[in-house]
Amino acid sequence: MSEVELTRERVEDALFRAGYWLLFAVIMLPIVVVFVTSFQRGEYLTFPPQEFSLRWYAQFFASAEWLSAVRDSIVIGVGASVLSTALGVTGSLAVQRSDSTLARVLPPVILLPLLLPPVVIGLTLLIYFNRVGFGNTYLTIVVAHTLWATPLVFFVMQSVFARFDWDLRDAGMDLGARPSRVFYHVVLPNVRSGVVISAVVAFIVSLQEFIMALFLKSYEVQTVPVLAWTSLQSSLTPLVSVVSAFLVAVSVLGVLVSAALMNIEWLAEQL
């Protein structure tokens, strides 16, 4: 390789890196703005803030309306996480090592809700639940979020199961364990971290989802993003930045937990 080519390659490499970091910075910048403005003192959102205080954090924790929205978000997030993990894990398990028609048809069908605009799903579910007279807001939003989170769990588990040694399952059955006991004693211990990661992802998806939650909310039950939206309509206070900062923090925490779990499994494999 000539020297000119080598230099050219280096320049291209540097440009690519610079472009990559620039893009990353542009994406991250709004999050930084949100964090910084959440610590401001003034009544109106300004960037950069003139003075800093924890005033809006104090106000957040004093607000019954916000705290009940947090509780609603957690209840719905946990519900959607449990339901979609159960559906996604068992669904993925069902199509493993199978060449039946069902195994070919199921993955695209499961993917479908992700491809539909949430507005459509939200509206459809609103009409549907009104028709059948089903009025529990918690359950309706859990169902809506499960529709969205299940495909994610399903495809995470597809890749987890792809690395699973299916001889272990055969060995378990061969030694007298029925399928349910094979799942509990043999399969689950070997894919546990994948299941936990799926559940965390599903929880975060539910926590962040806004459009379907907006359609399906009621006077008593509304999630944090929905309340943020309605309070934004009346005034643009730094309280919304506080709420956004919490949402980002929870997501980052979830990612860290997942990463730690994966590392633990990786570590265990190395030992």
What interhelical angle do 3-38 and 239-270 show, nearest 10? Answer: 130
For residue 65, the one-letter residue type is E
Count of all residues that appear for the chain in the document:
271
Q: Which of 8, 41, 71, 181 binds another protein (CB under 8 A)?
A: 181
Dump the DSSP string for 145-163.
HHHHHHHHHHHHHHHHHHT
> Rule CB under 8 A: is residue 103 a binding residue for another protein?
no
Binding mask 190-229 for another protein (x = CB under 8 A): x---------------------------------------
> Rule CB under 8 A: is residue 162 a binding residue for another protein?
no
| Maximum pairwise Cα distance, the chain | 75
Nearer to another protein, 3 or 165 (CB): 165
> Rule CB under 8 A: is residue 189 a binding residue for another protein?
yes
Q: Which of 79, 172, 194, 238 binds another protein (CB under 8 A)?
A: 172
Which residue, 179, 183, 181, 176, is CA-closest to 157? Answer: 183
Window of 10-18, 73-81, 161-169, 195-203 that interacts with another protein by CB under 8 A: 161-169
> Rule CB under 8 A: is residue 177 a binding residue for another protein?
yes
Nearer to another protein, 88 or 172 (CB): 172
Total residues binding another protein (CB under 8 A): 18
Q: Which of 86, 106, 168, 255 binds another protein (CB under 8 A)?
A: 168
Residue 209 DSSP code? -
d(CA 190, CA 193): 8
> Rule CB under 8 A: is residue 262 a binding residue for another protein?
no
Nearer to another protein, 128 or 266 (CB): 266
Structure tokens at 147: 């529709």
For residue 129, the one-letter residue type is F
Q: Which residues, including other chains, have CB under 8 Å from residue 66's CB and lie 6 or more apart?
A: 60, 224, 227, 239, 243
> Rule CB under 8 A: is residue 170 a binding residue for another protein?
yes
Q: Which residues bind to another protein, rule: CB under 8 A?
A: 99, 165, 167-168, 170-178, 181, 185-186, 189-190
